[in-house]
Amino acid sequence: MKQRNPKSKLLMGPGPSNPDPRVLRALSEPTLGHLDPDYVAIMDETAELLRYVFSTKNALTIAVSGTGMAGMETAMVNSLEPGDKAIICTAGAFGDRMAEVAERVGAKVVKVESPWGEPIDPEDVRKAIRKNPDAKVVGIVHGETSTGVLQPLDDIAGAVHEAGMRIIVDTVASLGGVDVPTDRLGLDVVYSGSQKCLSCPPGLAPITLGEKAVSFIENRKTTCRSWYLDLGMIRRYWSFERFYHHTGPSNMIYALNEALRIVKEEGLEARFARHKAAQEVLIKGLTELGLKPVVNEPYRLPTLTTVYVPEGVQEGEVRKQLMDEFGIEIAGGLGVFKGKIWRIGLMGTNATKANVIRLLGALKEVLK
């Protein structure tokens, strides 16, 4: 058989990012049974480290087996019953997906929209809440990877809670790179993915639920529409009960555990500052190359920068050359931004000035 030998590349798209070498070594530690005491001790420690990155004391804080989309689906299917009304904020591809997932769960979806490249206006959310006082949840994306917008959450979370509703937040592209204030804002359900700012391979979806969200699970009238993603059962596996639900992906948990240790060693504040500093160097360099950022401050997502493709430049060709000649991956636009923008990720371990300089040098060569 032909040898399988994928080359290492610098992953500066919207994810996955390059895992830290320590994380890849952790992946190769011995596989253990899902109820092995050594393994469940590592699960417990991983949950504790997740509480640190989510800035929460929430008891129900775990990693769902699956990627970020499994996190989104878990959040929706465990927060809604068929017929419930959900207000979903969308200003990009992942907001659209949230609405679609909520609909598939059987919810009646009301959308609050903003143009791509802009944040959701809290006043629009207030209006939707006033018009739909019977809504149960409000869903919103914190770091919208399709546009590069960082959504401020303070006002919106306040309005949601005043109305007695629950807020569900997608932090797949922000957790570990930008402050996710779970407890400060009382965010009810927050989910993420392992392969973006946590610098772990794809395959796990961290999630945390506050008291109101847990009480919903305990008191729902209909059974959860998903068996595999039913947190009512999964949490019994992550608790002292160790009820068998599905085989724990032990090696992935080792990897996430190591990735979270690295986050803790660096410290959240230092990590956020590093992401911000790397983006500043990137924006300065892109501007010097004559490229215009899509998003204005203070709404720039530090972990993913969007920039317009200059007139007359073949955007796909530039990405191909960056990959073929320099081994660097960046991404093109989605939806209304298709063919019009590039998306440059600075996530986790990758968010360094050295990587930014490497990309800027390569981009300068290619654009010549």
Q: Which residues bind ligand PLP (CB under 6 A)?
A: 14-15, 67-69, 72, 94, 141, 143, 145, 170, 172-173, 193, 202
Nearer to ligand PLP, 203 or 293 (CB): 203
- Residue nearest ligand PLP, CB atom distance: 68
- State the nearest-atom distance from the C-beta of 193 to ligand PLP, in Å: 4
Nearer to ligand PLP, 128 or 172 (CB): 172
Please tell me the distance from the alpha carbon of residue 356 to that of residue 344, in angstroms, as a whole number.
Answer: 10
| CB-neighbour burial class of residue 18 (10 A; exposed 0-12, middle 13-18, buried 19+) | buried
Using only the alpha carbons of the chain, give its radius of gyration: 20
DSSP type of residue 178: B
Q: Quick count: other Cβ atoms within 10 Å of Cβ 134? A: 8
Nearer to ligand PLP, 167 or 366 (CB): 167
Nearer to ligand PLP, 68 or 176 (CB): 68
Residues 174, 288, 317: CA angle, nearest 5 degrees: 75
- State the nearest-atom distance from the C-beta of 304 to ligand PLP, in Å: 8
Nearer to ligand PLP, 204 or 362 (CB): 204
Nearer to ligand PLP, 40 or 260 (CB): 260
How do strand 166-170 and strand 143-144 relate by DSSP bridges?
unpaired
User: Under DSSP, is residue 308 helix (H, G, I), strand (E, B) or coil?
Assistant: strand
Output the six-digit token pair for 170. Answer: 């997608």
- State the nearest-atom distance from the C-beta of 219 to ligand PLP, in Å: 28
Task: Tally DSSP H helices, then E strands, for the chain.
Answer: 13, 14
With contact defined as beta carbons under 8 Å apart, do 50 and 61 qualify? yes
